[in-house]
Structure 1
């Protein structure tokens, strides 16, 4: 009986994958997903890990540059301060890019906003390449800010673009590609950073420019691919252009259901015009969507994944892993992320979003509890330190296969078109502020809490599990207007938001 069940499960997944491949390859959808990915979330993933390998070389470059300018050896504190600016100002650029999403994407459209972001990335690459020959670390700082701006703009636009090109039945698998390309970027940053490839002192400036190659590909290819159908229909009012875009993306068909859904959404937007971020914050009808968005992003970023990506070397060193083995362990982390996201694609449209959130968060919390125990007992036996990396691998599987894989899909589903741009601005601001906070605070947490530093991450994961279990409605297979009604009907202390709005209207 078990063999029959296993066979049925494998056969079912094979059928799902064949169906998805047929749907994705009938038009230009698959090509568009790849082109968006390599110059969207891939860039952010690469830039998250690209500084890990060349950090000693860049610091030596800063040291030698200051010595040539002033004729004396700079203090370690000065070099460290400049290095920290190079690392942290990336988040400042990301914040500026996130704030500009509404204006640039709303004015230029999704496609031209992505091309604009890639062109700005070329400017950053020129600064990085020239910095070594100009002997100017200031050019690296400027380049990191510009790179951050492109990441803040392109990642939000990338996620939005994916959500707007995908039919309802494929929304989960299409938007999941955002996370897949992000993890592919992280792995590429670790891989190219190996000394056998570009991780050498004479090549560090070329290592930082690898994503530029993909930006050039996007600039050349993307103009020939369709614009977002939802943007064309709802925001531009071009119904024929929308229909042609759908047919180019997904093959010939009438797409009556998709057009009717957009028409209903457009009618709702005519009743309530597009909002600014401040107006969205004041709108009580989307209160639960905003609370959900804020809670999930806080739990995702504060449950430990960002710290594992940026400070994996320090974590494994503290766990007792030999230095010469750590870089290969981190490569394994990146490969695990990609494989998990691919596997998640076969589950997200079957299990739904809600289960993957609360169960993923719960299992992540369990991993951090056991990781705290193994770090505390690492000196008790020679094999104990090796359990911690295994737990971190499990944590990545539960994170990528649950909350991380489902977040881009959910954020695209819980806001209608008139609210989505403002929501992405708020999401981007929150994300980049948290990234900057973690970058500044985590080293002090590691040194201050020692083996108990993961308790905080476990608490955030547990909070995410409880919130999504009790308050997050299932969004699988529903229209955006149906999902909005689900959020309005959430009851707390016997009251729902819709009842509050009715009461306010009567008053």
Structure 2
């Protein structure tokens, strides 16, 4: 703690000449909005899109594997081997995502945020090529390679897009702009669900085209993102290029409004003098980041283990259990995607007025209520013909609650809890946790369902309650604060613990 005080005192002479900006940017410029769109279409949009499009061609791909196996070995494939191959095609995406998240931060430091996003499209294009060629070549192994590459693309995209958007956004709009990450994830999910309908590319003969459509967002980003500047924070703090930073700020915010943002970045640059970007393992040895890392672990783990991905992975099963007719299930699934997309947009409008804490605590609290209601509805679903539809309402309410809270706020907090030198490593850690938890829930959810039946969502109820409680007592409000101010709030907790010997709640700012 003494070292932290010494660092702050050391730079006080440099910081005293900086004044608070006269005014903050309240409305994003057209250039800033377009930059968010250019980054998102080839970033987190691909993550959401690849989660959803794999559901539609399930039977078609399994038939292709069976046919290929028969032609090769003159015998039909066993059910166990077919299930194993299909499970590998689906789950290898998470392994690729883990690899992408593990290298995304390093690539962002070396090649820049924009440069890494552009390079990342190589994986999407190769994946589209492999999956498109799998059927004419009669090689189902290409599907496994293609899905792995789409996972790498998604892992890098989630990490680096959030870095880019969080760093180009002005302080007063950082939350709303960072919601672009969640908006494009939900937009990708919805787009994949719609394109996977039988009326479009959901028919059996179209599955190679459906899986190859991931090249379209990649091409769009390659054509649009080069027209936008690199992250100003990266240019000044990591590269030391003051001229390029100034040009980028003027491009994003206009020649008359960029001065306040320039001063914020300059303060952060001064605090980072002599400090190189940290590696992930170096964050774990820094005791001043203990609470940030614990928060990072909890919010990213709970984002996957709260039940939302279980609904998307096993949407057909959930709606069947709820009593929805089989011919209505694809449209009900599209409805869930539309629901989450709308709530992500709504969260983007509310986050700067209500703050991060209110939304994420409220979201997890509402999800807890939905888990209880859904369990009750499933228990009594045969008692009346309207109860199954009540179950479906509970599912939609759960998705609404997720979109308004943890779905949008989690990635924003990852950006805001760390400074420039720590942020890439933090995203690598958070992304890795996310993908491991993603794989974990995909593996254990069927066992939870088989073992607990209608009480399966009680597991997610416990998780939602615990996370809401942790955030209430530990995480401060970060709205409209600089990254250095947020860092000082966490340091003030460390001083409080050292002085009192207790770990009281960190409620230095109102919810």
CA spacing shift, 1:377–1:285, aligned 2, 3 Å: same
1:483 and 2:486 correspond: yes
* Partner SS, residue 80 of structure 2: helix
Q: 1:229 aligns with which of 226, 232, 237?
A: 232
Q: 1:291 aligns with which of 286, 290, 294?
A: 294
Query: In the TM superposition, what whole-angstrom CA distance separates every residue of 1:69-128 from its partner, at most 9, and x where no partner exists?
Result: 000111111111100110111111111111111221111111110111112211111001
Q: Does structure 1 conserve the Cα–Cα contact (< 8 Å) formed by 2:280 and 2:425?
A: yes
Query: In the TM superposition, what whole-angstrom CA distance separates every residue of 1:398-438 from its partner, at most 9, and x where no partner exists?
Result: 11111211112211111000000110110111011111111
1:465 and 2:473 correspond: no
Q: Which residue of 2 aligns with 1:104?
A: 107
Q: Which residue of 1 aligns with 2:333?
A: 330
Q: 2:373 aligns with which of 370, 393, 410?
A: 370
Runs of at least 5 residues in structure 1 that lack an aligned partner in the other structure: 1-18, 501-507
Matches within 5 A, 1:139-288: 139-253=142-256, 255-288=258-291
Q: Does structure 2 conserve the Cα–Cα contact (< 8 Å) formed by 1:176 and 1:406?
A: yes
Q: Does structure 1 conserve the Cα–Cα contact (< 8 Å) formed by 2:118 and 2:225?
A: yes
Q: 2:53 aligns with which of 33, 38, 50?
A: 50
Matches within 5 A, 1:306-455: 306-455=309-458
Q: 2:402 & 2:265 partners in 1: Cα distance?
A: 33
Tell me by how many angstroms 1:169 deviates: 0.6
Tell me by how many angstroms 1:181 deviates: 0.7
Q: Which residue of 1 aligns with 2:497?
A: 495
Runs of at least 5 residues in structure 2 that lack an aligned partner in the other structure: 1-24, 503-511
Q: Which residue of 2 aligns with 1:137?
A: 140
* Partner SS, residue 188 of structure 2: helix
* Partner SS, residue 347 of structure 1: helix
Query: In the TM superposition, what whole-angstrom CA distance separates every residue of 1:207-234 from its partner, at most 9, and x where no partner exists?
Result: 1122211211111221121111110011
Q: 2:124 & 2:231 partners in 1: Cα distance?
A: 22
Q: Does structure 2 conserve the Cα–Cα contact (< 8 Å) formed by 1:295 and 1:464?
A: yes
Q: Does structure 1 conserve the Cα–Cα contact (< 8 Å) formed by 2:48 and 2:189?
A: yes
1:302 and 2:305 correspond: yes
* Partner SS, residue 272 of structure 2: helix
Q: 2:338 & 2:498 partners in 1: Cα distance?
A: 44
Q: Does structure 1 conserve the Cα–Cα contact (< 8 Å) formed by 2:235 and 2:244?
A: yes
Q: 2:80 aligns with which of 47, 52, 77?
A: 77
Q: Which residue of 2 aligns with 1:11?
A: none
Tell me by how many angstroms 1:312 deviates: 1.1
Deviates more, 1:359-368 or 1:217-226: 217-226
Q: Which residue of 1 aligns with 2:120?
A: 117
Query: In the TM superposition, what whole-angstrom CA distance separates every residue of 1:156-180 from its partner, at most 9, and x where no partner exists?
Result: 1011100010010110110001101
Tell me by how many angstroms 1:24 deviates: 2.5
Q: Does structure 1 conserve the Cα–Cα contact (< 8 Å) formed by 2:249 and 2:262?
A: no
Tell me by how many angstroms 1:206 deviates: 0.9
Query: In the TM superposition, what whole-angstrom CA distance separates every residue of 1:29-60 from its partner, at most 9, and x where no partner exists?
Result: 12111111111111000111111110000000
* Partner SS, residue 490 of structure 1: helix
Aligned length: 478
What TM-score results when the alignment is normalised by the length of structure 2?
0.91
Tell me by how many angstroms 1:388 deviates: 1.0
Q: 1:106 & 1:68 partners in 2: Cα distance?
A: 48
CA spacing shift, 1:221–1:68, aligned 2, 3 Å: same
1:87 and 2:90 correspond: yes
CA spacing shift, 1:247–1:497, aligned 2, 3 Å: farther
Q: 1:293 & 1:110 partners in 2: Cα distance?
A: 21
Query: In the TM superposition, what whole-angstrom CA distance separates every residue of 1:167-196 from its partner, at most 9, and x where no partner exists?
Result: 101101100011011001001111000011
Q: 2:370 & 2:494 partners in 1: Cα distance?
A: 32
**Where do 4+ consecutive residues of structure 1 move more than 3 Å?**
496-500
Q: Does structure 1 conserve the Cα–Cα contact (< 8 Å) formed by 2:375 and 2:457?
A: yes
Tell me by how many angstroms 1:499 deviates: 8.8
CA spacing shift, 1:321–1:263, aligned 2, 3 Å: same
1:23 and 2:28 correspond: yes
CA spacing shift, 1:474–1:496, aligned 2, 3 Å: farther
Q: 2:362 & 2:157 partners in 1: Cα distance?
A: 30
Q: Does structure 2 conserve the Cα–Cα contact (< 8 Å) formed by 1:490 and 1:497?
A: no
Structure 1 vs Structure 2 CA RMSD? 1.7
Q: Does structure 1 conserve the Cα–Cα contact (< 8 Å) formed by 2:88 and 2:144?
A: yes
